[in-house]
Structure 1
Amino acid sequence: MRFTSRTVVLTAAVCLPLGAALASYVLAGDPQAPTVPSVVRIGEENPAPPATTTTPPTTTTAPPRTTAKPPPATTVVPHVPPVHGDDDDDDGGGDDDD
């Protein structure tokens, strides 16, 4: 009984994703062919939409107060010393990582 249930679970684990992929492929249909304009003109831009002018609403309230923010702090990063390419100096028998 245990062998049969394991076989059923394994078969379901394989067949369900394959069935879902097959159904997606069959139901997807054909993609539409890409449409290409009959004439392509290089260097011409589409006409810009007409500019709409709006007047800002007039308000009788006082302008908002602005508070002076302190300048952002600058962080100085110390210069990193150059790294020498000689990593072969641990040829000795010791366990030092220096």
Structure 2
Amino acid sequence: MVATIAEPGDAVNDPSQPWPSSRKQIVIGTIEVTSASKQSTGECRDINYDPTIVPAGIEISNDPILRARSGAYSHSFNARLREIGTGKASKEIDGKK
């Protein structure tokens, strides 16, 4: 995982504006996939990803797309829960065969 450090004047609220390749980059971690599981039995099946929920000490940028995604992901998560609750989910989602 690499973080690119913004400099004064860099657009931090418009993801369509690329930053120059000369920006400082810092390796902040490594992600290693060590196993995989089916969606129906995975530990994150009932977790909603929300890019605006971040740990203490981290702030999101003023990029409006983050807030738009937050609402869209919430809507999608709620739709999936309804499908599971009413038995209309696919076999892969609800684990039924």
Which interval holds the TM-score relative to the shorter structure?
under 0.3
Q: Which has the higher strand share?
A: 2
**Larger RCO of the pair (alpha carbons < 8 Å, separation 6+):** 2
Which one has the largest radius of gyration?
Answer: 1
Scaled by the length of structure 1, the TM-score of the pair is 0.26
Q: TM-score, normalised by structure 2?
A: 0.26
